[in-house]
Structure 1
């Protein structure tokens, strides 16, 4: 035993080497603690540690956990959340026993029961039980993390350009936007803070200083909320998502949206020369697909016997994924004439195409680059025809608006467009002037007929009143003659 005592460190020696408190060490002696410290317990009850324990702890902590923030305690490179168990205070409010406790700058409360039903000792017992559960649900001391470290470990490591688990599940376009927003909006301002120290008020002020656009602010909030939600789920020292309570700026009135007419898009089609360009143009006009879904079309997605195309893949920035929404995985029916044009396109240009080949092939075995096609071919033609500010998304609006003008119900339009809700579909709906005039005429005729009925009823009532008055006058004259 003297050999063991000489080779191993005591609690006091380990505390001095790590430059932490003894309570910090004792809390980590439980095997259930996420930062459990291996140790030996002697028959005398003393606790001993292997000398390599201190080196391992300091090595694991590393530079990532050296947080120099005012609201965290840094001791020898080991960060500790400045949190202690709260006891709470008992109050009477509106005839009920309540417990209050400190939560940052706030004093939340919880009703324990009516004063008429509980004695003070019973209320204190309930208060202690409630606060015990409340303290257990809070983060364990020492497990709080910073947004920069958490983002690097679970979302994206910029140094290695490596996607982590939480970001791998996102779409390619979402990954790009989320990396940009976190880098330029949130991590630069709050990257060195502890997650547990960030409050809604300061997040609100920072968001207000960055943008007053409703949609942009909603995107910023959503990405930050995703990080906080992951931190709660993964046990990174957080129990509340402060981003959920951020208020967004008011929505702005919708701006005028340019949408080409059917005649204009057909005129562009006539000017295109290459078969793959003409077919790409036709498909986006026929179906109103997103450009990623258009690039993801393979010949195996064409069901000739059913005159249908199955949208099940989207290609964005060279990466293939599922369509944007759950409703995006859908079947789109075409007419027999449209399917015949598509069949002739395949037979004349790609007779040996395999089922997994792209319908709109580009260079080096990839699908056609839609942005390049728009800038290189479509926009120059549109400028010559006097068509301003044309872009791919305008054709989704055009396709949906044509269906609306032709009386197609909203459920069918949602199914073809891949919209989750009818509200989203309404955003893509633009009635033509003729339809608007028809609607205005219908309202006007309905009001005119109602007005005519009211006037007829008033005239009839006036005639009845006049008749009664005339009859009454004749009776009065007869009475006078009788005298």
Structure 2
């Protein structure tokens, strides 16, 4: 080693196992070899059965880096020798080279294990093609549509050329930042698709990163209040609606069903005897699919008023082979988008109510339940939410209710129980 190398690049603690020192701009490279390493002819490093790797120190970044060799399997089945470089820690975290080497040994224990098998690698785009075919295609049509949109519009354009193992916290944050303008919920939905794909890759033996939401800075929660109807607005909507949509809107307003669940109802689902509605399926673009979750498949209460409406509706109902309560001329459930655009919006426009979707009925039901004096837990059960925090986002109390509530609270306190003179203290805060 040249005598001036220490002054130019900084010192590395002496290690009797070091067999060479390679210099690079701002980097010190020390290749470590175990005394018991088994080598092939000519000391070919690729033939070693046990490796210690290399320790590198970046003076500009004050970081210890580790470099090692690893066999990887490409998507086409070919095996290549990769040489990853990873961050071991900062100079503050690992003050000496020996501590950095110990950290690298921990990482290399997986590769040096007798049962080690070459790692499978692929780019995000390469694996996405397989994931669409083998996994996504087996999901519900609604899930397939949204996931494909996330992949084609965001994930593949931004991350497609990266290897799966390169999608770490830093690249994830860059990806989130590139979604500027999207709402927090949209960003979470896109990350959910990416997370599902990366989890599958890891389960299949690919070297893959994982989504770490706690390490990401996400968009702030919107102050936006979801659309909902007041009692008078619901009554006005029903007064202008024609059959079968009047009955359909009543079902939404008296059950809190999701639009797809209501459109997916068949007459055997209406249990007049036990006063409940069995939610067995959901309709999506004219096709039946499973409900959103297992909790969504729970039956909901059938109020007497709704039971009477459904009995009257059955007398004028146009029969179809599958027994759909609401069907098109093709004997299939209508698309919720068409119901909104051609049945709901004209009524909202006539009533000067801002346009919104059918989900506004579901928000209204939660509000009506709590407004009637019942706890949010009752609304949670009726809406079949798995998390009570979700239900709280659905509750929108009518104006004046908090004033009356606080009036009751103030009237319940005996403010004159203690005499004014007895309760009088210093006028100054101590």
Structure ID, larger Rg: 1
Q: What corresponds to 1:124 in structure 2?
A: none
Structure 1 pair 303–146 and aligned structure 2 pair: CA distance change class (3 A)? same
Q: Secondary structure at the match of 2:299?
A: strand
**How far off is 1:100 after superposition?**
3.8
Equivalences for residues 323-342 of structure 1 within 5 A: 323-342=291-310
- Aligned runs of 1:227-306 on 2, under 5 Å? 227-238=197-208, 240-244=209-213, 246-273=215-242, 275-306=243-274
Q: Which whole-Å deviations, capped at 9, do the CAs of 1:198-245 have from their partners, x for residues lacking one?
A: 33212212321222532222222222111111110011233x415556
Q: Measure the CA separation in 2 of the matches of 1:250 and 1:138.
A: 44
1:430–1:185 CA distance, 2 compared to 1 (3 A): same
Q: Deviations over 1:343-371 (max 9, x none)?
A: 22113324x666x4111111312112332
Aligned match of 2:162: 193
TM-score, normalised via structure 2 length: 0.72
Which sections of structure 2, spanning at least 5 residues, go unmatched?
1-43, 50-70, 425-430
> Matched residue of 2:174: which SS?
helix
Verify: 1:377 aligned to 2:361, yes or no: no
Tell me how far apart the structure 2 counterparts of residues 259 and 100 of structure 1 sit (CA, whole Å): 59
Shift of the alpha carbon at 1:389?
Answer: 1.9
The 2-side partners of 1:137 and 1:394 are apart by 60
Q: 2 CA distance for matches of 1:85 and 1:202?
A: 16
8 Å CA contact 1:358–1:367 kept in 2: the answer is: yes
Q: 1:92 to 1:339 in 2, by over 3 A?
A: closer
How far off is 1:144 after superposition? 0.5
**Cross-structure match for 1:43:** none
- Structure 1 pair 141–424 and aligned structure 2 pair: CA distance change class (3 A): same
CA distance in 1, matches of 2:165, 2:72: 17
2:81, 2:403 → 1: CA distance? 66
Aligned residue in 1 for 2:3: none
* Alpha-carbon distance in structure 2 between the residues aligned to 1:22 and 1:109: 21
Tell me how far 1:443 sits from its aligned partner.
3.6
**Deviations 1:366-400, CA, capped at 9 Å, x for gaps:** 11233222222322222122222232111111111
Distance 2:392 2:80 in 1: 51
* Deviation of 1:422 (Å): 0.9
**Residues 175 and 461 (structure 1), Cα distance of their counterparts in 2 relative to 1, 3 Å cut:** closer
Do the aligned partners of 2:72 and 2:80 also contact (CA within 8 Å) in 1?
no
Partner of 2:82: 82
**Equivalence for 1:459:** 421
In 2: Cα distance, 1:257 partner to 1:138 partner: 54
C-alpha RMSD of the superposition = 3.8
Using a 3 Å threshold, how does the CA distance of structure 1 residues 459 and 322 change in structure 2: closer, same or farther? Answer: same
- Mapped pair 1:222 → 2:192: yes
For residue 261 of structure 1, report the CA deviation from its aligned partner. 1.7
Larger helix percent: 1
Q: Which residue of 2 aligns with 1:148?
A: 125
1:183 partnered with 2:183: no
Q: For residue 421 of structure 1, what is the aligned residue in structure 2?
A: 387
Which consecutive residues of structure 1, in runs of 5 or more, have no partner in the other structure? 1-20, 27-32, 36-56, 66-77, 102-107, 111-126, 156-163, 463-483
Contact 2:119/2:205 (<8 A) preserved: no
Q: Distance in 2 between matches of 1:368 and 1:198?
A: 41
Measure, in 2, the Cα distance between the counterparts of 1:293 and 1:81: 53
Paired residue secondary structure (2:417): helix
Tell me whether 1:211 sits opposite 2:170 in the alignment: no
Contact 1:200 1:245 in 2 (8 A): no
The whole-number CA distance in structure 1 between the counterparts of 2:315 and 2:174 is: 61
TM, length-normalised to structure 1: 0.64
Q: Can you list the C-alpha shifts for 1:413-470, whole angstroms capped at 9, x where unaligned?
A: 11211211111001000111242221121243356x34x334x1x52477xxxxxxxx
How many corresponding residue pairs? 356
Give the equivalent residue in structure 2 for 1:436: 402
The 1:99/1:256 distance shift into structure 2, 3 A limit, reads same
| Residues in 2 aligned to 1:393 and 1:416: alpha-carbon distance in whole angstroms | 15
Matches within 5 A, 1:15-54: none
Task: Report if aligned partners of 1:287, 1:399 keep a CA contact under 8 Å in 2.
Answer: yes
